[in-house]
Structure 1
Amino acid sequence: MISSLSSINGLETTGRYLVLLRENAIDSGIRTLRDYTGNRRVARAADFEKNALTAEQLEQTDTTIFDNLGVAVCTLDPEQLQSLHEASDESSPIALIEAERVVYALNAQGLGGLVEQITPRTTTSPAMEYLKGYRDAVDRLVDHLVPTNGVQRMLPSPGIQVLDETTATWGLQITKVVNSKFSGRGIKVAVLDTGFDLTHPDFAGRRMIGKSFIPNQEVQDRNGHGTHCIGTACGPLSPVIPPRYGIGYETEIFVGKVLSNQGSGTDSQILAGIEWAIANGCQIISMSLGARVSLGQPYSGLFEVVADRALRNGTLIIAAAGNESQRHLGIVEPVGHPANCPSIMAVGAIDSQLQVAWFSNAGLNANGGQVDIVAPGAEPGTVGGSRIDVHSSYLMPTRYRRLAGTSMATPHVAGIAALYAEATGATGRVLWNRITQNALRLPLPSVDVGAGLVQAP
């Protein structure tokens, strides 16, 4: 069972632990876990069809093994934890132990039951003042250095304003999706989120495979966040009511419910979804979720190894950079967990003026935690005011809704990744490179926008 929530070094944790096993050491790792912890109730993903552990197995076993990932999730008391740490030397199959985190759906509005991830602040710390100065200095440096060596890297100021959404959303216009001949046919995209509204008329007859990793909750979305994200990544070419909002309209959709209807989940539920997606041969995993990270806090070594192993096996994981920044107040926060892992493509958000969204996090942590690319996530403006934001599918009977966040930017990149996968046959790191190499360079600091604005093939 999941322990009551606690905090370790500022992290919201569950009381359970993630254990990274060395490659090709699953069986010896299980024996070591049993020997040093005494845990006997062990569930292995490999024992289930398509490695789809049930939510109840995740909740009720002492130790859960994700065979494809080489990770165990364990319930450990302090003595067991100490014993396992002592066993974790170079000769042991145990490579790393981390506390399990709590994660949330990432949006910038807190609307419709979605989890509000922005904490208001009234004061600015000295560290934040330093970062503001650093950011301003970088801005000035970019202004002087681009374009360089004759290579045009800037767009005409003040950017491109595309607000006529009669036939397609502004996001699909500025990413050139509307000009692409590709549809994502034959590409499997897994969206790990709050599920999907299976009654949505725009997806009638569409092939969709779902699995819930949340106890006592079905794949059916009761939150709206997952339905919105899947709509952008995989929505139809011609929705019942225009405009077009979906990118990979012929992709195979895998709906992994790893966040509850209240918008929260855990590391183990994310890992269960990743394990399931890999077992199903998904080339792309989209995750608009995460947890806040502090300045100077390292990324998860365990999630980094998982993402690297996934890339080497042909699966690209794309995740939201996070929405904790309040740029209108001069506050910029670092990329959150797990997007801050170097082998996970971290997506920041821009608006239709090609400016960084006010909530979008930045690559402030020196060791990892960079923004890799940006995509449409909000209409210009700060908190409040009139904005069109990102239009996509939503819970019935509402049907459609406009939301803002790096959550909305992430499925733009996932859908476009599916187009590149179809167009080139690329997977894993090669697919990553195709996406970033073809991004539209922006006259903004790379800590904010990475390679630039994602563009469809």
Structure 2
Amino acid sequence: MSLEESTEELPTGPTGRYIVTVAGHAGSAALQQVAEASGDSDCEVLDHLNMAIVEADEAHLALLRSAVEDPSSPVIAVEPEEYVTIMDHVDAAQRSTATVNPFVTIGDGDVEAAATYGDTSTASWGLYAVRAMPPVLHTAPWSGQGTTIAVLDTGIDLQHPDFQGGRIVDTRSFIPNQTVQDGHSHGTHCAGTAAGPRVPTQGRRYGVAHGAKLLIGKVLADSGGGTSGQVLAGINWAIDKKATVISMSLGSSVQPGQLPHTYYEEAALRALNNNVLIVAAAGNSGNGKPVGSPANAPSVLSVAALDQSLNVASFSCFGLNGAGGEVNVAAPGVQVYSAVPTNKGSYGFKTGTSMATPHAAGVAAMLAQKTGKRGLALWNELMLTTQSLSPLPPMAVGYGNVQVPVSRMVLQPIPIQPVPIRP
């Protein structure tokens, strides 16, 4: 979820369709029964998730809901599909001209953290903060090589020079009548943060896992909005394509005490069982509001946003709800420099938990390369290698700032000339 200008009022709430989840052992026969019970012979079936997205009238809907109460029925839940969005807004107060205060790496988990980070002519500030590129004569020996990050968002600029040469292994649009080409800019920016090149066509480095491949699923329209059914279809596709990590900078607001959607939790569980980790934005509703959906699902790793001083950003949601609604980790999310479509200038700044999420996805890809771990084991590795942000409360930052492990060596810092951050 990013904070940027929007010229269109995006819909919220239910779409009118329903997502039916069946037990994992039930298989395709149960999904066929769901289609018949719903009266929607053309319903969309998500085979890896054991879900169907249906249109049903009141009579058919009552039949489906009664199946949930039947212990012999494979139907687990019948829930409304809802609209999701990137929640655009401009927050001028988040603009900063902070400069780098370099630190020296002394070993895994042992970092003398800088009080303030900032972009330099070499790299964006977030890369320093997560140690993807420490400001010393050394860079992390892992790049995410051999891993694939699926970015489910507004697509990507297929003409952008930084994503040529086989970086993108597959694309698919789940938005009717729109190609995967990014007509917004949000998806390109998030993909760039997760896995932009080590040496961009111009300017500073901005990508965390520069050796990872990209899967691009367009689940949000060029307006910045989509539906939870489109998101689930993207997850289903990413599992089929054997993604290592799925990065989702999207969602919808959650009320205090509201439980997670069964369909998101079941999708995330099935992803983990297929060795795929899902990371999602905690939300931009403000730190008096609970973590949004789908990040509030227990099996989705939720990511809060940090500013250049490693304080929690004012817009970042808190883990106020139980049942999985915690913040798990935090990452840089204020005035983040990355790629944008070439017709929008090729590079630009965005702010939000949207920007924190691909930082976490990129670090997860690098940890996957280093350790060979996947799924739940990769989740645990990501949290165990975080940088503590005490005294900030866990409800704000979870286990702490995501970190790339580096070699146990002490190196001399090199001079870095700070570059002012501009909108």
Range class of TM-score, shorter chain: 0.7 to 0.9
2:146 corresponding residue in structure 1? 186
Aligned partner of 1:447 among 374, 395, 398: 395
Aligned partner of 1:425 among 372, 375, 382: 372
Relative distance call for 1:419 and 1:291 in structure 2 (3 A) is same
Provide, for residues 108-157 of structure 1, a one-character-per-residue CA deviation record: whole Å limited to 9, x for no partner. 5389xxxxxxxxxxxxxxxxxxxxxxxxxxxxxxxxxxxxxxxx99977x
Aligned partner of 2:305 among 326, 349, 374: 349
**Bigger relative contact order, structure 1 or 2, given CA contacts below 8 A and separation 6+?**
2
Within 5 Å, give how 1:373-388 maps onto structure 2: 373-378=329-334
Which one is further off, 26-35 or 194-203? 26-35
1:27 aligns to 2:28 (yes or no):
yes
1:95 aligns to 2:95 (yes or no):
no
The whole-number CA distance in structure 2 between the counterparts of 1:87 and 1:453 is 44
Provide, for residues 401-447 of structure 1, a one-character-per-residue CA deviation record: whole Å limited to 9, x for no partner. 01100000000000111101111110000000110000001120000
1:160 corresponding residue in structure 2? 115
The whole-number CA distance in structure 2 between the counterparts of 1:227 and 1:164 is 19
Please, what is the CA RMSD of the aligned residues?
A: 2.1
Within 5 Å, give how 1:227-266 maps onto structure 2: 227-266=188-227
The whole-number CA distance in structure 2 between the counterparts of 1:87 and 1:432 is 34
The whole-number CA distance in structure 2 between the counterparts of 1:375 and 1:21 is 35
Within 5 Å, give how 1:98-117 maps onto structure 2: 98-109=79-90
Post-superposition offset of 1:26: 2.4
Relative distance call for 1:221 and 1:272 in structure 2 (3 A) is same
1:81 corresponding residue in structure 2? 61
Within 5 Å, give how 1:45-444 maps onto structure 2: 63-88=43-68, 89-109=70-90, 160-178=115-133, 179-208=139-168, 209-325=170-286, 332-378=288-334, 389-397=335-343, 398-443=345-390, 444=392
Relative distance call for 1:195 and 1:35 in structure 2 (3 A) is closer
Corresponding pairs, count: 372
Post-superposition offset of 1:31: 3.9
Post-superposition offset of 1:291: 0.4
Provide, for residues 193-252 of structure 1, a one-character-per-residue CA deviation record: whole Å limited to 9, x for no partner. 000001111222133111000011001001000000000001000112221100111211
Structure 2 SS opposite 1:374: strand
1:37 corresponding residue in structure 2? 38
Post-superposition offset of 1:312: 1.5
Asked if the contact 1:153–1:441 (Cα under 8 Å) also holds between the matched residues in 2, the reply is no
Structure 1 SS opposite 2:331: strand
Asked if the contact 1:153–1:442 (Cα under 8 Å) also holds between the matched residues in 2, the reply is no
The whole-number CA distance in structure 2 between the counterparts of 1:77 and 1:364 is 36
The whole-number CA distance in structure 2 between the counterparts of 1:28 and 1:6 is 37
Relative distance call for 1:6 and 1:358 in structure 2 (3 A) is closer
1:47 corresponding residue in structure 2? none
Specify the code of the residue in structure 2 equivalent to 1:160. Answer: A
Structure 2 SS opposite 1:242: coil
The whole-number CA distance in structure 2 between the counterparts of 1:153 and 1:242 is 30
Relative distance call for 1:30 and 1:203 in structure 2 (3 A) is closer
Relative distance call for 1:90 and 1:155 in structure 2 (3 A) is farther
Asked if the contact 2:28–2:47 (Cα under 8 Å) also holds between the matched residues in 1, the reply is no
Asked if the contact 2:23–2:74 (Cα under 8 Å) also holds between the matched residues in 1, the reply is yes
Relative distance call for 1:34 and 1:189 in structure 2 (3 A) is closer
Percent identical residues: 43
TM-score scaled by structure 1? 0.78
Post-superposition offset of 1:183: 1.1
Provide, for residues 161-211 of structure 1, a one-character-per-residue CA deviation record: whole Å limited to 9, x for no partner. 122511011100011001311111110110000000011112221331110
